[in-house]
Amino acid sequence: MLTLKLLRENPEFVVRKLAVKNFDASEIVHRIVDLDKNRRALQVELDGCLALQKQKSAQVGSLMKEGRKDEASAVKEEVASLKEKSKELEAKSDGNNRELESLLVLLPNIPCDQVPEGKGAEDNVVVKMGNEIPDLGPDALPHWELARKLDIIDFDLGVKLTGAGFPVYKGKGARLQRALINMFLDINTAAGYLEVEPPVLVNEASGFGTGQLPDKEGQMYHANLDNYYLVPTAEVPVTNIYRDVILGNDDFPVKMTAYTPCFRREAGSYGKDVRGLNRLHQFDKVEIVRIEKPENSYAALDEMISHVEGIVCRLGLPYRILRLCGGDMSFTSAITYDFEVYSAAQGRWLEISSVSNFESYQANRLKLRYRDAEGKIQLAHTLNGSSLALPRVVAALLENNQKDGRIIIPDALRPYTGFDCIG
């Protein structure tokens, strides 16, 4: 959530920057500025009314002690009138503030200066590529056919048990999932990230804190009876660990990692792009989350990008890193870098990670602050990244490493799988 201070002092800057996200903020921003002005004026009037009410109430007592009952009665009437006025001002202020809050949550985060303009994925900028794309020949199979042939992932059984987008991993397929999760967590913890195991159900306050609510409720699975949400990513519960927390100046950096199953409705998804593991409703993902002082957050972002790149390199997958344009960024992000791996049998790039800096946007919603060296309370910066999302990693591993009807396991993964091939 953008701060009122920024909106009050630089409304035109906010409108101009949000246009990079193809968001027309002019009407909302100027309404917020007016409401903020009203809020402060009403508060001044209310404070004055309450102070006068207190002063008059004390005066009544003095007059009664002096036996000046008629004057005391007149002042009592003034106090009663001031109480009514206070109630009216409080009601007016509450209504003003409710409208103000309802508009503040409609504004996305401001993109930083490095974000390119653009409408969609076609305008994203490739900043780096690595590892050679394998030439598999004309007989290469897509991962869904390999999985069926090797009996390691059963998509039809998932449909029977739940529905489309809920595969069942079997035998070495299940072992491969567990191996990747353990490998990713080990690499993250070795880099100083504290491993946590959070709940996979969160309350509405947690969804609001990281920006999933009220923006993405249509994509989240909702347990209506308890008003809990299944997590779309571990970012939500892990970042919310620090909701309503004031950190000390020496508490930084905060670095956490977590594995969770993730749940996304993906409403309206269909066609060849959702075949097999390309797009699921339930999938496994390992996440990294950082909380930083504002002056350190972009150095932290660079570290996170290098860290995720190192994991992809260990797996030997062809990859590219993209800086997302304004039109393809999330509601909450100030800048995002996507990692994609090449799926050789499908002949297409598959996203496996997003690494983002949210600056103070999430922290403002979370009331996540710190006390700086001078003792002043400041908003922290939050960052997160996938390290990594498993389904498309598995898809690329199966397709790119197929040889003579078998899947060759990358060397770095073999200590975790306990086998060097599938098939």
CATH of the domain at 385: 3.30.930.10
- Asked, for residue 274, whether it belongs to a domain, the answer is yes
- Asked, for residue 228, whether it belongs to a domain, the answer is yes
The confidence band for 266, taking pLDDT boundaries of 50, 70 and 90, is confident
The answer on pLDDT for 69 being more than 90 is no
pLDDT given for residue 67 in this prediction = 80
The CA distance from 160 to 413, in Å, is: 31
- Asked, for residue 109, whether it belongs to a domain, the answer is no
Please state the domain count of the chain: 2
pLDDT given for residue 319 in this prediction = 98
Please indicate, yes or no, whether residues 154 and 266 belong to a single structural domain of this protein: yes
Structural domain harbouring 167: 121-422
The answer on pLDDT for 282 being more than 70 is yes
Task: Report the mean per-residue pLDDT for the chain.
Answer: 95
The encoded tokens of residue 334 equal: 């100030």
The answer on pLDDT for 215 being more than 80 is no
Please indicate, yes or no, whether residues 203 and 72 belong to a single structural domain of this protein: no
214 or 260, which is more confident?
A: 260
Please indicate, yes or no, whether residues 179 and 95 belong to a single structural domain of this protein: no
Using one digit for the tens of pLDDT, what is the confidence trace for 188-214?
Answer: 999 999 999 999 999 999 999 999 998
pLDDT given for residue 272 in this prediction = 55
Q: What is the mean pLDDT of residues 4-10?
A: 97
Please indicate, yes or no, whether residues 61 and 178 belong to a single structural domain of this protein: no
pLDDT given for residue 9 in this prediction = 97
Using one digit for the tens of pLDDT, what is the confidence trace for 153-169?
Answer: 999 999 999 999 999 99
Q: What is the Rg, in whole angstroms, of the alpha carbon atoms belonging to the chain? A: 28
**Listed residues 104, 138, 157: the one ending a domain:** 104
Beta bridge partners of 349: 342
User: Minimum mean pLDDT among 75-79, 263-267, 419-423: which range?
Assistant: 263-267
pLDDT given for residue 68 in this prediction = 79
Please indicate, yes or no, whether residues 153 and 216 belong to a single structural domain of this protein: yes
pLDDT given for residue 217 in this prediction = 77
Please indicate, yes or no, whether residues 284 and 333 belong to a single structural domain of this protein: yes
Using one digit for the tens of pLDDT, what is the confidence trace for 314-342?
Answer: 999 999 999 999 999 999 999 999 999 99
The answer on pLDDT for 279 being more than 60 is yes
Please indicate, yes or no, whether residues 395 and 277 belong to a single structural domain of this protein: yes
- Asked, for residue 12, whether it belongs to a domain, the answer is yes
Percent of the chain at pLDDT above 70?
98
The confidence band for 274, taking pLDDT boundaries of 50, 70 and 90, is confident
Global pTM reads: 0.94
pLDDT given for residue 270 in this prediction = 55
